Amino acid sequence: MKLLSVLVLLLPIAVLALFDAPAERYLGASVPLERFRVDYPPDPINVRNLNFYLPQEDLALPCYGFDLQIQRSYNSMNQFDGPFGIGWTFNHNLRIYENGKTLVLNEGDGFISTYEFDAYHDIHKAKVIELLLDARKAEDKRVFNKLKPSHEYEALRQRLESDKEFYASLKNKYLLAGGKPQPGTYISTTRGKSWIRKGNDGTYVRTMLSGRTEYYNKTGQVTKITDRSDNTLSYSYIKGSLESLTDPCGRKVRFQWNKYGKIASIVDPFNQTYRYTYDPKGRLESATTPKGKTQYFYSKKNTMLRVIFPDKSETTLRYNNEYRVVEHVVPNQKTTYQYQVDPSNKFHHITKAITSDGKVTTYEYFHDEYKSITTEPSGSKEVVVVSACCGKPLSRTDERGQGEFFTYDDNDNLTKREYSSGRVIYYNYEQKFNQINTMRYNDGTTIDFRYDSTGNLIQVKESTGEILDIVYNRRGKITDMTKGKDLRMTFKYNTYGKPVEIIQAGTGSLVITYDRYGETTNVEGKPLPGSKVSAEEVQQKVKMTLSYLLQMLQPTGISLY
C-alpha cells in the first residue's frame, strides 16, 4: 500500500544548519539526515570536525511525556568546565545566556544555539538588508552631515546580497553587537525552528514546533518543561545549583554537589546512589552506577584518551594540536582520520576515515555552496545540498545526480518531495500546530490527517475511503485505534505510561511486563478465551497489525514505547 511505503519515509525533517558557523561549534548529537558521523557504539566521531562525542546514559525511567533520564555527554572540542568536569555536560544542563543583543542557549548535549531578534534573523534577509542600509545612512549623516550618492547605497545593497561574510559583519556591527537583548521574540533555525520569548520581567520561554515549551528563570536556568498534553518536568535549585528533578509521574532525582561545583552523586527514586569522582584538575575520573563503573583518562590538554567501560572493553583516542581526533580504537577496529582544508578553496574541507582493513571513506564539505559529498569505499557517492538559512536538505543524490529533491514554504515545512523516478509528493499543513493535513501524490492519490484541540492526530483518511481513527487519554497516550469495522486495537498502560496490554479485537492480546527501570522483561501472546490459536500465533499477529498501524502515524512521531 502506497500509504505505508511513503509514510515510513516521512519523518519531521530538522537538520543542523551545517554550514553557517565554524566547524568547532558543531558539538553534541547528530540529527535526522545528517550523515556526518562515523558511529562505533557506544561512542561516535563527528567527521565534519573530528570532535569526539561520548554519550553516557546513567538513568532512564519511563513516564508520560518525559522520561526521567540522566544522560551525560562529552565533547573533546569543548573546554567548558561543566557540572561533570571539563568537556562534559548533561541533558538537564540547559541554560540561556545573553550575548550582545542575542540570546545563546547551551543545550544538554553541548550544542550551542544562537537566537536572534526575530526582525534581525536571516529568514527575513531582505528586510534585514533594508535595516542595514538605514543604519549606514544614519551613520553617514551623523559622521559626514549628509548622505552619499544613491548609487553607492545601491552598490552596498548588491554586495550585502552577494557577499555572505560582508553581510554578517555589517549585521553584527549595526544590529547584534553591544547592548542587551530587548524583551520580545528571538528565533533560531539551527536545529529546526524554535523561539525564545524574553519577558519584561527578565524570564524566558522557549517554544518548539513539537509543542514542547521550556521555562527559564532570570538567571537563564530551566525551571520546567511541558508538552502539549501538559505533562511537566520540574526543576528545583538551591543557591543556583540543581537540587532535584521531578518527572510527570511524581518521581524525583536528587543531586549532591561537591565544594568545587561538580556533581558528586545522584540519588534515584529507588534510593540508589550514583557516584562521580574527579581528578585534581576537576576532570571526571569515574562514574559508578547500577550498571557498573566507567573510568576516564585524559591528556594534558583535557582531551579524553581512554575509556574503560563496565564490561572492561576499552576505547582509546589520539588527537592533533587542534583537538581533532586522528585515531580511534575500539574492540576489533582501529580508524585513523585525516583532515585538511583545500589550499585553493578555504571553504572546501576534507576528512578521510581509514579503517584498519584499509577501507577509506571520504567526507567533503563545501561551506560556501552548502554542500557535502560522501564517497564510500566502493566509490559510490552521496551529494547533499542544504538551504542557507536553516540547513534543510534541498537535494540528496548519487554521483549521477539521481535521488530526491525537496521544496519548503516560508515556515520551513516540506511542501514537495520529488524523486528521480518520477514520483512526486506534495504536503499541506494546518495552521494551529503546523502539522501535515494533506499528502498528495502526482497520480492523484491523497491522504488527509485530522487533529484534536491539543494537536494529537485523531484521523488518517485515504482517498480510497479507508479511515483510521485514534483516541487518546488525557496524558496524550493512544487508547484506541480503529480502521473500518474489522480492525480495532485497545491499549492499556501502567502507572508510568508503558503499554502493558495491547488488545486486538477478535484475535487476542499482547501482554508486556517490565522491571522497575521500565525495561521489557517479557512479551507474550494471550489468546481469546476458548480460542484454539496458540499464544505464539497471537503474539505474531498482534505485532504485525501494530506495526502496520504505527507506520500510518509516523508523520506525527507517535510512539507507544
Cα–chain center distance at 81 = 23
- pLDDT per residue over 488-510, tens digit each? 999 999 999 999 999 999 999 99
Determine if residue 557 is left, alpha or beta; phi over 0 gives left, psi from -120 to 50 gives alpha, anything else beta. Answer: left
Q: What backbone phi and psi angles, to 5 degrees, belong to 164? A: -60, -45
Q: Which of 16-20, 65-69, 244-248, 367-371 bottoms out in mean pLDDT, i.e. has the lowest?
A: 16-20
Q: Are 28 and 109 in contact (CB under 8 A)?
A: yes
Reference 504, options 464, 556, 462, 544; nearest CA is 544
- For residue 32, the model assigns a pLDDT of 38
- For residue 373, the model assigns a pLDDT of 96
Local structure of residue 513 (DSSP, 8 states): E
Q: Are 222 and 235 in contact (CB under 8 A)?
A: yes
Q: 0.85 exceeded by the pTM? A: no
For residue 42, what pLDDT band results from cuts at 50, 70 and 90? low
Q: What is the mean pLDDT of the segment spanning 312-317? A: 96
Q: Which of 11-25, 203-217, 295-309 bottoms out in mean pLDDT, i.e. has the lowest?
A: 11-25
Q: Is the pLDDT of residue 333 over 50?
A: yes
For residue 549, what pLDDT band results from cuts at 50, 70 and 90? confident
- For residue 120, the model assigns a pLDDT of 86
Half-sphere exposure of 275 (CA within 13 A, CB side): 4
Determine if residue 116 is left, alpha or beta; phi over 0 gives left, psi from -120 to 50 gives alpha, anything else beta. Answer: beta
Q: 549 or 320, which is more confident?
A: 320
- For residue 558, the model assigns a pLDDT of 56
Q: What is the mean pLDDT of the segment spanning 28-44? A: 50
Q: What is the mean pLDDT of the segment spanning 179-198? A: 91
Number of neighbouring beta carbons within 10 Å of residue 530? 5
Please work out, in degrees rounded to the nearest 5, the angle formed at the alpha carbon of residue 558 by the alpha carbons of 388 and 450: 85
- For residue 481, the model assigns a pLDDT of 95
Number of neighbouring beta carbons within 10 Å of residue 274? 20
Q: Are 97 and 104 in contact (CB under 8 A)?
A: yes
- pLDDT per residue over 154-176, tens digit each? 999 999 999 888 998 998 899 88
The Cα 381–Cα 402 span in angstroms is: 11
Average pLDDT over the chain, rounded to an integer: 88
Residue 333, classed as helix, strand or coil, is: strand
Local structure of residue 172 (DSSP, 8 states): I
- For residue 15, the model assigns a pLDDT of 23
Q: What is the mean pLDDT of the segment spanning 453-473? A: 92
Residue 549, classed as helix, strand or coil, is: helix
- pLDDT per residue over 117-132, tens digit each? 998 888 788 999 999 9
For residue 188, what pLDDT band results from cuts at 50, 70 and 90? very high
